[in-house]
Copies of this chain bind each other. A is one copy, B any other.
Amino acid sequence: MNSQSQITHKNYPIPAEYGDQLTLDEFVAAHKDKQIVVVQGLGFVGAVMSLVVANSPNNDFAVIGIDLPTPASYWKIQEINTGPFPVLSSDPKVEQFYQEAKSRGNFMATANPYAYSLADVVVVDINLDVQKVSGSQKALEDFSVDLSAFKKACESIAGLCKEDVLILVETTVPPGTCRHIVKPILDEAFTRRQLPLNYRLGHSYERVMPGPNYIDSIQNFYRVYSGIDAASEESVEAFLRKVIKTDEYPLTKLGDTTATEMAKVLENSYRAMNIAFIEEWGEFAEEAKVNLYEIVQAIRMRPTHKNMMLPGLGVGGYCLTKDPLMASWAKQTIFNSPKPLKQSVNAVKINDQMPLRVVSLMDQAFGDLKDKRVLMLGVSYLNDVGDTRYTPIELLYDELTHRGATMVLHDAFVPVWEERGLTVSTDLSEVLNEHYDVIAVTTMHSEYKQTPLIANYLKSHPQTALVDAWGVLDLAQFDGFPNSIYVLGRGDL
Contact = CB atoms under 8 A, between A and B. Distances in A.
A108 interface: no
A288 interface: yes
Interface residues of A: mostly helix, strand, loop or mixed?
Answer: helix
B307 A281 contact: no
Contact of A270 (B224, B277, B336, B350): B277
A260 B334 CA distance: 46
Contact of A259 (B269, B290, B305, B331): B290
A305 B346 contact: no
A318 B202 CA distance: 46
Interface string A257-298: 011101100110111011011001101110111111011111
A267 B278 CA distance: 11
A290 B256 contact: yes
A315 to B, nearest CB: 15
A10 interface: no
A492 interface: yes
B344 A343 contact: no
A288 B308 CA distance: 29
Nearest to A175: B288
Contact of A280 (B175, B283, B298, B344): B344
A342 interface: yes
Contacts of A283: 337, 339
B344 A288 contact: no
A299 B265 CA distance: 11
B255 A291 contact: yes
Contacts of A222: 301-302
Contacts of A402: none
B342 A298 contact: no
Contact of A266 (B207, B295, B341): B295
A304 interface: yes
Max chain B Cβ within 10 angstroms of own Cβ: one of A262, A269, A344: A262
Contacts of A424: none
Contact of A258 (B255, B288, B301, B304): B288
A254 interface: yes
Nearest to A335: B287
A252 interface: yes
18 contacts: A252-B301, A254-B291, A259-B291, A260-B298, A262-B284, A262-B285, A262-B292, A263-B299, A276-B343, A280-B341, A280-B343, A280-B344, A281-B341, A287-B331, A287-B335, A287-B337, A305-B307, A306-B306
